[in-house]
Amino acid sequence: MESGMVSVDGWTAGSQVYFLTHLHADHLSGLTSKWSRGPLYCSRITARLFPIKFPGFDLSLLHIVEIGQWHSVSLLSPSSGSSTTVSFMAIDAQHCPGAVMYLFRGEFGCTLYTGDFRWESTSERAQTGRTMLLKALKDVQLDLLYLDNTYCNPTYCFPSREVAARQVLSIISSHPNHDVVIAVDTLGKENLLLYISRVLKTKIWVWPERLQTMHLLGFHDIFTTKTSVTRIRAVPRYSFNIETLEGLNTMRPTIGIMPSGLPWVPKAFRGMEKLSLESPPLLLHNRWHTGVTTSSTSSKTNGGSLISGRHDHYIYTVPYSDHSCFPELQKFVEFVKPINIKGIVSSSACNVDPLYHFGGICRIQQASELLCQRLRIKRSEKVGVIDMKSSFGCTSTMQLGRKKRKRQISRAAIHVSRVRLLRRERQGVKIVDTDPD
DNA sequence: GCGATCAGCT
DNA sequence: CACAGCTGATCGC
């Protein structure tokens, strides 16, 4: 989201204040340690984790937004050039630690930017968020909703994280003598690991940088970097594939667990999925609603046989997602009743366009809003904030047409090696790394 | 030589 | 598809 005043998760020049929803890399593109474009607002937890991602960042530019409290900042209106106040509130997004949505109010109207979020109506946290939103939107119309449309298609229907966590646990419990590797990212899915640790009364191995994150989040004595004390390891998702799992199985019997909202479907099934976006494949739904199943990845024989045997023994896909599934998105949109919606995930596929699926809810809203406006005009009252909303513009940053560059072998391999080592130093290491180079 | 950024891949 | 993010190549300083 961009405008002459406010950017959310956007880091190009031209805004007066910048908001960060959470610390996942795809929301940080353009942000560096040398940031100097203006004040950066984020949640308290994000601020605490911030120096890991951006060592040397000028922390005086960081402003903490307390959850559930109205804050305000005085900015210059791009249209009139005069001073104008923008109020904003952060609400728990229940995505990864520190993740928040932002609700803005100002001359442009009322805008809610969800960032990445999960809206589990059953959880207690969601109830808190619901109460906050209800209170904040009590007597104001939401003009524009920027929605996490990652899974904005009826195809995506998965259980709550609580249910998915139980599935993970049942997989682990049914393999009492196996090592277990669970694929995770640099941030997120901590609750799943905490749950496993608590129920099984075991520590969980993480890589050193992840341990540092866990400590900053206040989790002590639960995670370890010693492989000898536990059979359960959380490993970076990028180091998690059939090959590494097969490699591990030459040493010890090991299963892999991939917690993901994305269906990890064998390639042989992917065509089917594409053909039926409107009516999702029964197979997928059954997989997720009947509990756990195993899955294989890319069998390199394209489109041929179904699940190629051996992979099945190793990898389990569990629908544990930090993004809202479609029914949750629907409930959320019905709850906040926006006049307009925009997706925050740019996708070449049109099947996740929020307006396509939820436009009806907005149209109903617009119709009733129009009615209200007419009534107000009739009663000679001033028109509400929605008339100003257009000043809160959006510039799409979607980049089209990837250029193919010719690959040339022009630099010495030693340079590549150094770059990789430096990155490892900063960000972490591959887990099943056997080569010390 | 170094850091930033992009394309490609999973 | 692509959750989020690694990797290698290239470019500008």
- Its pTM stands at 0.80
Burial class of residue A154 in the structure, from the number of CB atoms within 10 Å of its CB (0-12 exposed, 13-18 middle, 19+ buried): middle
Closest CA to the C1' of B9: that residue is A238
User: What percentage of chain A reaches a pLDDT higher than 90?
Assistant: 50
Closest CA to the C1' of B5: that residue is A30
d(CA A8, CA A115): 8
- Residues in reach of strand B, judged by a CB distance below 7 angstroms, are A 29-30, 32-34, 238, 241, 297-298, 399, 402-405, 415, 418-419, 422
CA–C1' span, A407 to B10, in Å?
A: 20
A256 touches strand C (CB under 7 A): no
A366: helix, coil or strand? helix
Predicted confidence at residue A273, as pLDDT, reads 36
User: What percentage of chain A reaches a pLDDT higher than 70?
Assistant: 69
Smallest Cα–Cα separation from A68: which of A86, A96, A43, A32? A43
CA dist list (Å): A221 to A139, A228, A328, A437: 46, 15, 35, 32
Closest CA to the C1' of B2: that residue is A419
CA–C1' span, A383 to C10, in Å?
A: 54
**Res A267 pLDDT > 70:** no
**Res A143 pLDDT > 60:** yes
Which strand B bases fall within 7 angstroms of a protein CB?
1-8, 10
pLDDT tens-digit map of A71-112: 999 999 888 889 999 999 999 999 999 999 999 999 999 999
d(CA A303, CA A251): 31
**Res A307 pLDDT > 50:** no
CA–C1' span, A350 to C1, in Å?
A: 11
Smallest Cα–Cα separation from A287: which of A301, A298, A304, A272? A272
Predicted confidence at residue A87, as pLDDT, reads 97
A423 touches strand C (CB under 7 A): yes
